[in-house]
Structure formats: structure tokens, C-alpha cells
Amino acid sequence: MSGSQTRLADRSGRLVRVPDRGRVALTAVVAAVVTAVLAWRYAGDTDAGRTDRRVTALLDAQQGAARGVAQGFAAIGGPLPVAVALLVLAPLAWRLRGGRGLALVLLGPPTAMVTTSLVLKPIVERTRGGELAFPSGHTTSVASLAVACGVLVLGLTVLPRALRLLAVAGLAGLVVAVGAGLIADEVHYPTDTLGAIGVALAVVLGVALAVDAFADMITDSGVTDPGPDPRVFDPREHPTEVLPRS
């Protein structure tokens, strides 16, 4: 790796800077609370709420090219695009942020997806069109990958802060576009996508903090006593150890 690549990011550094840990943890907690409140509010429902109806009215894309665009964005959260994104992001995370980055990608988004599909959907049992809807699985997939990318990008301190924030804003815009596509295509209610974003933030940011804590613990406990240095051995302390053997 060249010198410029080496300076791109600290591969052994923390995913979340120590001064930012409090804000990141608070964001994860707030996201989890919002998701929990929405899950309680819409548990067992099949109809749209008042907020759902208002937002859906703004995203009416049932005809022409607009519908095709909505379906295109919605498809980004499908299994194949998500699998490809994970395969591309994992080695990139390793290259940029080392073991911590790789652990974030391999643990964060998959855990968020499993939480949505196998835990929350069966528990909440909100349906649309006969299918479990809360939280949105497609939105969770894209949002969790976007949050993981955001954590990695913000760690590239060699880049100007404005450029890093612009990249994060672009990732957020992609998530919103996917959610809007699912709403306009009448696959999910707006609150389904909001709950999915909450899951992604809570899980992926929580995983980032957990990876840092675990890696720091391993680093601290890995410092062991190497024992006496043979280069400073004094034969006068143990004269028998330097006697020739017969």
C-alpha cells in the first residue's frame, strides 16, 4: 500500500471517535424508541394511519414514467442488489478500516435485516396486501448498508469534512428514494419505512459501538509480560547456568 493510501484512514482506529460516542449512542437509542412506538401503534393493523395517508398523497406515482422510477428505486432493496452490495462493501471496509470495518459490515446490516424479517415483522403483524409490512425489509436492507457506509466514510479523516458530510447526505437521499418508491408503488406504508430506518440506525450504530468496545478490550488485554530479556542476562546471578556441560 502506498503512502497516500496508508494515510487515507487509520485501519486500526476506532469506528466511532471517543468524543462522538455519546451522540452516536443517543441516536441509536432514539431510533430504537421511535421504532418501538411505531410498532406498538400499528401492531395488528391493516389500514393506513392519518400520517400514512398524508404522505402517500404526496407520492402518488401510479402512472407513466414516475411509476417506473418508483419501482426502480424499490428494487434496490431486493435480495440480489443487497447481496452484491455486501460482497463489494466487505473487502472495501477491510481495506479502509481493517478488522473493525469488516466486522461492522458483516455484523451490522445482516443483523438489522434479520431483526426486521424474523423478529419484528412476526411480532408486530402489521400487514398490507396480505403480507407482513412493518418494518419494511427492503428499506431496512438499504438503510443498514447506508449507515454502515456512513460510519466508514466519516472515518476517512484525510477527506475534507464537507465532502464526507456530502457523501453521507447522498446515502441518506438514496434511503429516502427507496422508501418513497416502496410507498408510491403501494408496497409499504410510510410508517413501515420509518420503522425500518429506525431499525437500521439502532442496530448498525449499536454494532459499531460494540465492535469498538470489543476491539479495545482485546487490545488492552493483549499486552502481556514478555519475560526477562536474554540480552541483559547477568551470569553472576546464576553462575551454574553458564557452566559448560559435560
Average pLDDT over residues 140-148: 97
Confirm whether 173 is domain-assigned.
Answer: yes
Average pLDDT over residues 226-246: 51
- Is 127 in contact with 46 (CB distance < 8 Å)? yes
Which of 3, 11, 173 is CA-nearest to residue 92?
A: 11
| Whole-Å CA distances, 27 to 17, 37, 62, 89, 115 | 15, 15, 35, 24, 18
The rounded mean pLDDT for the chain is: 85
pLDDT at residue 6, as a whole number: 46
Is 197 buried (19+), middle (13-18) or exposed (0-12) by CB count in 10 A?
Answer: buried
**DSSP strand E in the chain: where?**
127-128, 131-132
Confirm whether 72 is domain-assigned.
Answer: yes
How many structural domains are present in the chain?
1
Confirm whether 123 is domain-assigned.
Answer: yes
For residues 167 and 184, which has the higher predicted lDDT (pLDDT)?
A: 167
- Is 11 in contact with 98 (CB distance < 8 Å)? yes
Indicate the length of the chain as a whole number.
246
Question: 18-72 pLDDT, tens per residue?
Answer: 999 999 999 999 999 999 999 999 999 988 888 888 888 877 655 556 667 777 8
Question: 78-124 pLDDT, tens per residue?
Answer: 999 999 999 999 999 999 899 999 999 999 999 999 999 999 999 99
pLDDT at residue 54, as a whole number: 86
Residue by residue, DSSP assigns 98-151 as HHHHHHHHHHHHHHHHHIIIIIIHHHH--EETTEE-SS-HHHHHHHHHHHHHHH
Confirm whether 6 is domain-assigned.
Answer: no
State the Cα–Cα distance between residues 196 and 204, nearest whole angstrom.
12
pLDDT at residue 23, as a whole number: 95
Q: What is the tally of helices (H) and strands (E) in the chain?
A: 9, 2
Confirm whether 8 is domain-assigned.
Answer: no
Phi, psi of 128 (to 5 degrees): -145, 125
Confirm whether 18 is domain-assigned.
Answer: yes
Q: How far is CA 87 from the centre of its chain?
A: 15
- Is 100 in contact with 15 (CB distance < 8 Å)? yes
pLDDT above 70 covers what percent of the chain? Answer: 82
Confirm whether 198 is domain-assigned.
Answer: yes
Residue numbers of the domain that contains 129: 14-215
Confirm whether 227 is domain-assigned.
Answer: no
Q: What is the pTM of this model?
A: 0.84
pLDDT at residue 237, as a whole number: 53
pLDDT at residue 228, as a whole number: 53
